[in-house]
Amino acid sequence: MREAIGLSKSPMLAIRDLSYSFEARKPIFQQVAIDIQPGEFVSVIGPSGSGKSTLFKLITGLLEPDQGEILIDGQKMETRLGLVGYMPQKDLLLPWKTVVDNVLLPLEVKKENKQQNMSEIRKWLSRFGLAEFEKAYPHELSGGMRQRVAFLRTIMTGRELLLLDEPFGALDSMTKRNMQSWLLGLWEELQKTVLFITHDLEEALLLSDRIYLLERTGTFQEMKVHLSRPRNPELIYQSEFIEMRKELERRIHHE
Protein backbone atom coordinates (compact mmCIF):
# COMPACT_ATOMS: atom_id res chain seq x y z
CA MET A 1 0.00 0.00 0.00
CA ARG A 2 1.32 3.44 -0.83
CA GLU A 3 2.56 5.97 1.70
CA ALA A 4 -0.35 8.33 1.05
CA ILE A 5 -2.79 5.90 2.65
CA GLY A 6 -3.62 6.63 6.25
CA LEU A 7 -1.84 10.01 6.45
CA SER A 8 -4.99 12.13 6.22
CA LYS A 9 -6.94 12.94 9.39
CA SER A 10 -10.21 12.19 7.59
CA PRO A 11 -11.16 9.23 5.38
CA MET A 12 -11.74 10.18 1.76
CA LEU A 13 -15.12 8.45 2.10
CA ALA A 14 -16.93 7.70 5.35
CA ILE A 15 -20.31 5.98 5.48
CA ARG A 16 -21.98 5.85 8.88
CA ASP A 17 -25.03 3.79 9.91
CA LEU A 18 -26.38 3.78 6.34
CA SER A 19 -29.75 2.18 5.62
CA TYR A 20 -31.69 2.34 2.37
CA SER A 21 -34.67 0.65 0.77
CA PHE A 22 -36.78 1.25 -2.35
CA GLU A 23 -40.17 2.47 -1.10
CA ALA A 24 -41.61 -0.07 1.36
CA ARG A 25 -39.57 -3.04 0.17
CA LYS A 26 -37.00 -5.06 2.09
CA PRO A 27 -33.96 -2.88 2.95
CA ILE A 28 -31.06 -3.09 0.50
CA PHE A 29 -28.60 -1.81 3.13
CA GLN A 30 -28.84 -1.94 6.90
CA GLN A 31 -26.59 0.10 9.17
CA VAL A 32 -23.63 -0.02 6.77
CA ALA A 33 -20.33 1.49 7.91
CA ILE A 34 -17.43 1.95 5.48
CA ASP A 35 -14.22 3.99 5.65
CA ILE A 36 -11.94 4.48 2.64
CA GLN A 37 -8.63 6.24 3.18
CA PRO A 38 -6.99 8.64 0.69
CA GLY A 39 -5.07 6.73 -1.97
CA GLU A 40 -6.76 3.37 -1.33
CA PHE A 41 -8.12 1.07 -4.02
CA VAL A 42 -11.17 -0.72 -2.62
CA SER A 43 -13.42 -3.15 -4.49
CA VAL A 44 -17.05 -4.07 -3.83
CA ILE A 45 -18.24 -7.51 -4.89
CA GLY A 46 -21.58 -9.25 -4.56
CA PRO A 47 -24.25 -11.04 -6.62
CA SER A 48 -26.19 -9.24 -9.34
CA GLY A 49 -29.02 -7.17 -7.94
CA SER A 50 -27.48 -6.97 -4.47
CA GLY A 51 -27.24 -3.19 -4.52
CA LYS A 52 -23.68 -2.40 -5.63
CA SER A 53 -24.73 0.22 -8.18
CA THR A 54 -27.29 1.58 -5.72
CA LEU A 55 -24.46 2.15 -3.26
CA PHE A 56 -22.66 4.25 -5.88
CA LYS A 57 -25.80 6.28 -6.55
CA LEU A 58 -26.07 6.98 -2.82
CA ILE A 59 -22.44 8.10 -2.63
CA THR A 60 -22.77 10.37 -5.66
CA GLY A 61 -25.97 11.96 -4.35
CA LEU A 62 -28.25 10.57 -7.05
CA LEU A 63 -30.10 8.88 -4.17
CA GLU A 64 -30.42 9.80 -0.49
CA PRO A 65 -30.24 7.27 2.38
CA ASP A 66 -33.18 6.52 4.66
CA GLN A 67 -30.84 6.97 7.61
CA GLY A 68 -27.14 7.51 8.27
CA GLU A 69 -24.66 9.89 6.69
CA ILE A 70 -22.12 9.98 3.88
CA LEU A 71 -19.04 12.16 4.30
CA ILE A 72 -16.61 12.96 1.49
CA ASP A 73 -13.16 14.10 2.61
CA GLY A 74 -14.56 14.63 6.10
CA GLN A 75 -17.40 16.87 4.96
CA LYS A 76 -21.14 16.28 5.05
CA MET A 77 -22.59 18.39 2.24
CA GLU A 78 -26.10 19.53 1.42
CA THR A 79 -25.67 17.83 -1.94
CA ARG A 80 -22.99 15.38 -3.07
CA LEU A 81 -23.69 15.79 -6.78
CA GLY A 82 -20.47 16.55 -8.63
CA LEU A 83 -18.17 15.85 -5.67
CA VAL A 84 -16.86 12.52 -7.00
CA GLY A 85 -15.82 11.16 -10.37
CA TYR A 86 -18.31 8.48 -11.46
CA MET A 87 -17.83 6.03 -14.31
CA PRO A 88 -20.92 3.81 -14.85
CA GLN A 89 -20.93 0.30 -16.35
CA LYS A 90 -21.46 1.54 -19.91
CA ASP A 91 -19.03 4.10 -21.28
CA LEU A 92 -21.89 6.47 -22.25
CA LEU A 93 -19.73 8.25 -24.81
CA LEU A 94 -21.76 10.64 -26.94
CA PRO A 95 -21.70 9.08 -30.43
CA TRP A 96 -21.88 12.43 -32.24
CA LYS A 97 -18.81 13.80 -30.41
CA THR A 98 -15.16 13.01 -31.11
CA VAL A 99 -12.83 11.48 -28.52
CA VAL A 100 -11.46 14.87 -27.50
CA ASP A 101 -14.93 16.42 -27.28
CA ASN A 102 -16.15 13.56 -25.07
CA VAL A 103 -13.14 14.06 -22.80
CA LEU A 104 -13.86 17.79 -22.59
CA LEU A 105 -17.44 17.31 -21.34
CA PRO A 106 -16.59 17.78 -17.62
CA LEU A 107 -14.91 21.09 -18.46
CA GLU A 108 -18.03 22.17 -20.35
CA VAL A 109 -20.18 21.34 -17.33
CA LYS A 110 -17.88 23.40 -15.09
CA LYS A 111 -17.89 26.18 -17.74
CA GLU A 112 -14.10 26.17 -17.93
CA ASN A 113 -12.30 27.48 -20.97
CA LYS A 114 -11.67 24.43 -23.15
CA GLN A 115 -9.08 26.07 -25.37
CA GLN A 116 -6.93 27.05 -22.41
CA ASN A 117 -6.91 23.40 -21.31
CA MET A 118 -6.21 21.84 -24.72
CA SER A 119 -2.45 21.54 -24.14
CA GLU A 120 -3.05 19.59 -20.93
CA ILE A 121 -5.82 17.52 -22.54
CA ARG A 122 -3.50 16.44 -25.36
CA LYS A 123 -0.87 15.36 -22.81
CA TRP A 124 -3.52 13.22 -21.11
CA LEU A 125 -4.63 11.73 -24.44
CA SER A 126 -1.03 10.75 -25.11
CA ARG A 127 -0.64 9.13 -21.67
CA PHE A 128 -3.82 7.15 -22.29
CA GLY A 129 -2.61 5.98 -25.72
CA LEU A 130 -5.30 8.01 -27.47
CA ALA A 131 -3.28 10.78 -29.12
CA GLU A 132 -3.85 9.40 -32.63
CA PHE A 133 -7.59 9.08 -32.05
CA GLU A 134 -8.57 12.49 -30.68
CA LYS A 135 -10.71 13.22 -33.77
CA ALA A 136 -12.16 9.71 -33.98
CA TYR A 137 -15.77 8.93 -33.06
CA PRO A 138 -16.77 6.26 -30.50
CA HIS A 139 -17.95 3.76 -33.15
CA GLU A 140 -14.41 3.78 -34.58
CA LEU A 141 -12.83 2.63 -31.31
CA SER A 142 -12.30 -0.80 -29.75
CA GLY A 143 -13.98 -1.66 -26.46
CA GLY A 144 -10.78 -1.11 -24.49
CA MET A 145 -10.18 2.26 -26.12
CA ARG A 146 -13.73 3.39 -25.39
CA GLN A 147 -13.21 2.52 -21.72
CA ARG A 148 -9.97 4.52 -21.67
CA VAL A 149 -11.81 7.53 -23.10
CA ALA A 150 -14.55 7.13 -20.48
CA PHE A 151 -11.96 6.84 -17.71
CA LEU A 152 -10.09 9.92 -18.93
CA ARG A 153 -13.38 11.82 -18.96
CA THR A 154 -13.84 10.74 -15.32
CA ILE A 155 -10.33 11.97 -14.48
CA MET A 156 -11.18 15.33 -16.07
CA THR A 157 -13.76 15.93 -13.34
CA GLY A 158 -10.75 16.76 -11.15
CA ARG A 159 -12.12 14.75 -8.23
CA GLU A 160 -9.93 12.79 -5.83
CA LEU A 161 -12.51 10.03 -5.24
CA LEU A 162 -13.35 7.94 -8.32
CA LEU A 163 -16.23 5.44 -8.44
CA LEU A 164 -15.77 2.85 -11.19
CA ASP A 165 -18.79 0.59 -11.75
CA GLU A 166 -17.54 -2.63 -13.37
CA PRO A 167 -15.70 -0.77 -16.15
CA PHE A 168 -14.13 -3.90 -17.68
CA GLY A 169 -17.10 -6.25 -17.36
CA ALA A 170 -18.03 -6.22 -21.07
CA LEU A 171 -14.47 -6.73 -22.38
CA ASP A 172 -12.97 -10.00 -23.61
CA SER A 173 -10.50 -11.69 -21.26
CA MET A 174 -7.34 -10.56 -23.09
CA THR A 175 -8.45 -6.94 -23.32
CA LYS A 176 -9.56 -7.05 -19.67
CA ARG A 177 -6.09 -8.22 -18.56
CA ASN A 178 -4.47 -5.43 -20.56
CA MET A 179 -6.82 -2.87 -19.04
CA GLN A 180 -6.18 -4.15 -15.51
CA SER A 181 -2.43 -3.79 -16.03
CA TRP A 182 -2.93 -0.32 -17.48
CA LEU A 183 -5.16 0.76 -14.57
CA LEU A 184 -2.69 -0.54 -11.96
CA GLY A 185 0.10 1.59 -13.41
CA LEU A 186 -2.09 4.65 -13.84
CA TRP A 187 -3.51 4.44 -10.32
CA GLU A 188 -0.01 4.28 -8.84
CA GLU A 189 0.87 7.42 -10.78
CA LEU A 190 -2.29 9.47 -10.16
CA GLN A 191 -2.60 8.80 -6.41
CA LYS A 192 -6.41 8.83 -6.65
CA THR A 193 -8.79 7.05 -4.28
CA VAL A 194 -10.81 4.39 -6.11
CA LEU A 195 -13.97 2.49 -5.21
CA PHE A 196 -14.42 -0.25 -7.79
CA ILE A 197 -17.35 -2.60 -8.47
CA THR A 198 -16.60 -5.97 -10.05
CA HIS A 199 -17.97 -9.52 -10.32
CA ASP A 200 -14.48 -10.84 -11.12
CA LEU A 201 -12.80 -12.21 -7.98
CA GLU A 202 -9.34 -12.26 -9.56
CA GLU A 203 -9.79 -8.66 -10.67
CA ALA A 204 -10.80 -7.59 -7.17
CA LEU A 205 -7.76 -9.27 -5.60
CA LEU A 206 -5.34 -8.06 -8.25
CA LEU A 207 -6.33 -4.40 -8.00
CA SER A 208 -7.41 -3.85 -4.41
CA ASP A 209 -6.04 -2.99 -0.99
CA ARG A 210 -9.32 -4.15 0.55
CA ILE A 211 -12.50 -5.85 -0.66
CA TYR A 212 -16.01 -5.36 0.68
CA LEU A 213 -18.31 -8.35 0.14
CA LEU A 214 -21.95 -7.24 -0.03
CA GLU A 215 -24.01 -9.82 1.86
CA ARG A 216 -27.64 -10.74 1.33
CA THR A 217 -28.46 -9.21 4.72
CA GLY A 218 -27.62 -5.77 3.32
CA THR A 219 -24.37 -5.50 5.27
CA PHE A 220 -20.71 -5.68 4.23
CA GLN A 221 -17.93 -8.08 5.14
CA GLU A 222 -14.38 -6.74 4.76
CA MET A 223 -11.33 -8.64 3.50
CA LYS A 224 -7.82 -7.16 3.41
CA VAL A 225 -5.62 -8.04 0.44
CA HIS A 226 -2.12 -8.75 1.76
CA LEU A 227 -0.25 -8.59 -1.54
CA SER A 228 2.72 -6.30 -2.04
CA ARG A 229 2.77 -3.55 -4.66
CA PRO A 230 3.48 -2.88 -7.46
CA ARG A 231 1.42 -5.71 -8.95
CA ASN A 232 1.02 -7.16 -12.41
CA PRO A 233 -1.45 -9.65 -13.92
CA GLU A 234 1.08 -12.53 -13.64
CA LEU A 235 0.41 -12.43 -9.89
CA ILE A 236 -2.77 -14.49 -10.39
CA TYR A 237 -0.65 -17.63 -10.95
CA GLN A 238 1.25 -17.38 -7.65
CA SER A 239 0.34 -19.59 -4.70
CA GLU A 240 -0.32 -16.67 -2.33
CA PHE A 241 -2.83 -15.20 -4.77
CA ILE A 242 -4.53 -18.57 -5.32
CA GLU A 243 -4.92 -19.05 -1.57
CA MET A 244 -6.48 -15.60 -1.21
CA ARG A 245 -8.92 -16.39 -4.00
CA LYS A 246 -9.91 -19.61 -2.19
CA GLU A 247 -10.50 -17.60 0.98
CA LEU A 248 -12.64 -15.08 -0.90
CA GLU A 249 -14.67 -17.88 -2.49
CA ARG A 250 -15.12 -19.51 0.92
CA ARG A 251 -16.49 -16.28 2.36
CA ILE A 252 -18.88 -15.86 -0.55
CA HIS A 253 -20.21 -19.41 -0.29
CA HIS A 254 -20.66 -19.13 3.48
CA GLU A 255 -22.32 -15.73 3.18
Task: Based on the fold, state whether residues 255 and 168 are members of the same structural domain.
Answer: yes
CB 150 within 8 A of CB 93: yes
Q: What is the pLDDT of residue 6?
A: 44
Instruction: Report whether pLDDT(7) > 70.
Output: no
Instruction: Report whether pLDDT(135) > 60.
Output: yes
In percent, how much of the chain has pLDDT > 70? 94
Task: Based on the fold, state whether residues 180 and 67 are members of the same structural domain.
Answer: yes
Q: What is the pLDDT of residue 189?
A: 86
At 185, which CATH number?
A: 3.40.50.300
Q: Which of 29-38, 113-122, 139-148 has the lowest mean pLDDT?
A: 113-122
User: pLDDT tens-digit profile of 58-77?
Assistant: 999 999 999 999 999 988 88
Instruction: Report whether pLDDT(111) > 90.
Output: no
User: pLDDT tens-digit profile of 213-233?
Assistant: 987 777 788 999 999 999 988
Q: Using CA of residue 80, residue 217, residue 170, residue 251, what is the dihedral sign? A: positive
> Is residue 210, in this structure, part of any structural domain at all?
no
CB 235 within 8 A of CB 227: yes
User: pLDDT tens-digit profile of 148-191?
Assistant: 999 999 998 889 999 999 988 888 888 888 889 889 988 988 88
CA 27 to chain centre: 24
> Is residue 211, in this structure, part of any structural domain at all?
no
pLDDT band with cut points at 50, 70 and 90 for residue 25: confident
Task: Based on the fold, state whether residues 150 and 238 are members of the same structural domain.
Answer: no
Task: Based on the fold, state whether residues 173 and 54 are members of the same structural domain.
Answer: yes
| Enclosing H/E stretch for 16 | strand 13-20
| Enclosing H/E stretch for 72 | strand 67-72
> Is residue 208, in this structure, part of any structural domain at all?
no
Number of domains in the chain: 2
Q: What is the pLDDT of residue 251?
A: 86
| Enclosing H/E stretch for 251 | helix 239-253
Q: What is the pLDDT of residue 255?
A: 58
Instruction: Report whether pLDDT(138) > 50.
Output: yes
Task: Based on the fold, state whether residues 44 and 168 are members of the same structural domain.
Answer: yes
Task: Based on the fold, state whether residues 19 and 142 are members of the same structural domain.
Answer: no
Task: Based on the fold, state whether residues 174 and 145 are members of the same structural domain.
Answer: no
Q: What is the pLDDT of residue 51?
A: 84
Task: Based on the fold, state whether residues 79 and 163 are members of the same structural domain.
Answer: yes
Q: What is the pLDDT of residue 81?
A: 86
In percent, how much of the chain has pLDDT > 90? 51
Q: Which of 41-50, 109-118, 123-132, 146-155 has the lowest mean pLDDT?
A: 109-118
pTM of the model: 0.89
Task: Based on the fold, state whether residues 164 and 100 are members of the same structural domain.
Answer: no
Residue 189 domain boundaries: 1-84+159-202+217-255
- Count Cβ atoms below 10 Å from residue 198 Cβ, excluding itself: 25
> Is residue 190, in this structure, part of any structural domain at all?
yes
Q: What is the mean pLDDT of residues 87-100?
A: 92
Task: Based on the fold, state whether residues 7 and 40 are members of the same structural domain.
Answer: yes
